[in-house]
Amino acid sequence: MSIVIERVETATPALAEFLVAHHAELEHTAPAESRHALVFERLLAPGVRLFAGSVDGRPVATGALAAVEDGHEELKSMRTDPALRGQGLGRSMLTFLLADAEARGIRRLSLETGSAEFFVPARAMYAAAGFQECGPFGRYLPDPYSTFMTLTLPAASVIPAPRTR
């Protein structure tokens, strides 16, 4: 299965529906105040780079990079279509996002994900990519429903920017 990853700058109904499903999927994992997924409009705001992966023109994965401070961004809205999980699409998106951040000189990526059993595969994927657990960053506060992770990226001098359409 071949995934095409592109930067998203305008809303499409299919992508909006995909991200609404993301929020619905998270409802059972934590109380509302402990769920930190961005709504679609915020994913299209300045300071956020949203990417969608598609297979046969259908959105199957998303991921975003949001500015935290100079040289530090947050990984946001990572989601893979539930019917396609375990096939490497999330890993492909993560690899793409890491390359995008490195190419732009970002030195640190952090993320917040859930601490519930539902998020075990995501945490394992992030750990396999080199992310390590850390304390809250940016505007986050300690939360028993959250796991915070961070990764220091290498210098961007030899890494070409990923191609986007």
For residue 159, pLDDT beyond 50 = no
What pLDDT was estimated at residue 32?
A: 62
Query: What are the backbone dihedrals phi and psi of residue 154, each rounded to the nearest 5 degrees, phi first?
Result: -70, 165
Write down how long the chain is: 165
Please name every residue paired with 155 in a beta bridge, in sequence order, or none if there are none.
none
Of 72, 64, 46, nearest to 5 by C-alpha is 64
28-32, 100-104, 122-126: segment of lowest average pLDDT: 28-32
Of 135, 41, 58, nearest to 50 by C-alpha is 41
Q: How many CB atoms lie within 10 A of CB 91?
A: 14
Domain boundaries, the chain: 4-152
Which whole number is the average pLDDT over 43-54? 92
31-35, 65-69, 104-108: segment of lowest average pLDDT: 31-35
What pLDDT was estimated at residue 43?
A: 82
This prediction's pTM: 0.86
Q: At what angle do helices 120-128 and 89-103 cross, to 10 degrees?
A: 50
Distance separating alpha carbons of residues 132 and 81, to the nearest angstrom: 25
Q: What mean pLDDT, rounded, does the chain reach?
A: 86
CATH homologous superfamily of 4-152 equals: Gcn5-related N-acetyltransferase (GNAT) (3.40.630.30)
